[in-house]
Amino acid sequence: MATEIKGIVTRRIDFKENDEIISVFSQELGRVPLLVRGAKRANSRYKALTQLFTYGDFGISQRDGLSLLYQGETIDYFSRLKMNYQAMSHAAYLCELINQVGVDYQPDPELFTWFLTCLQLMDEGHEPEGLTLAFELQILMRLGIALQLSGCAICQSQQIIGFSLAMGGFVCANHAPQNRQQLVDQPLVIKTLIALSRQDVSTLVNIKLPTEVKPILRQVFDQIFEQYSGLYLKSQKFLSTDLKF
Ligand SMILES: [Zn+2]
Cα(163) to ligand 1 centroid in Å equals 11
Q: Convert the pLDDT of each residue in 56-68 to its tens digit.
A: 999 999 998 999 9
- Domain region containing 118: 80-245
Among residues 31, 60, 77, the one where a domain terminates is: 77
Query: DSSP string covering 32-67, please?
Result: EEEEETTTTSTT-TTTTTTSTT-EEEEEEE--SSSE
Query: How wide is the angle at C-alpha 176 spanned by C-alphas 143 and 244, nearest 5°?
Result: 60
Mean pLDDT of 167-196: 92
Distance CA 165, CA 228 (A): 10
Cα(160) to ligand 1 centroid in Å equals 8
Cα(190) to ligand 1 centroid in Å equals 16
Q: Convert the pLDDT of each residue in 72-101 to its tens digit.
A: 999 999 999 999 999 999 999 999 999 999
Whether 118 and 196 share a structural domain: yes
Whether 213 and 240 share a structural domain: yes
Cα(134) to ligand 1 centroid in Å equals 25
Whether 120 and 225 share a structural domain: yes
Whether 94 and 213 share a structural domain: yes
Whether 64 and 100 share a structural domain: no
Mean per-residue pLDDT of the chain? 92
| pLDDT in the model for residue 182 | 87
Cα(158) to ligand 1 centroid in Å equals 8
Cα(213) to ligand 1 centroid in Å equals 24
Cα(218) to ligand 1 centroid in Å equals 25
Distance CA 119, CA 95 (A): 10
Cα–Cα nearest to 136, from 185, 89, 90, 194: 90
Distance of CA 106 to the CA centre of its chain: 17
Cα(166) to ligand 1 centroid in Å equals 13
The pTM assigned to this predicted structure is 0.92
Cα(2) to ligand 1 centroid in Å equals 55
Q: Convert the pLDDT of each residue in 142-163 to its tens digit.
A: 999 889 999 999 999 999 999 9
Cα(161) to ligand 1 centroid in Å equals 10
Distance CA 67, CA 21 (A): 10
Among residues 22, 42, 77, the one where a domain terminates is: 77
Q: Convert the pLDDT of each residue in 208-218 to its tens digit.
A: 999 999 999 99
Whether 106 and 203 share a structural domain: yes
- Close Cβ partners of 144 (under 8 Å, ≥ 6 residues apart): none
Cα(165) to ligand 1 centroid in Å equals 14
- Close Cβ partners of 11 (under 8 Å, ≥ 6 residues apart): 22, 23, 52, 95, 99
Count of domains observed in the chain: 2
Cα(175) to ligand 1 centroid in Å equals 5
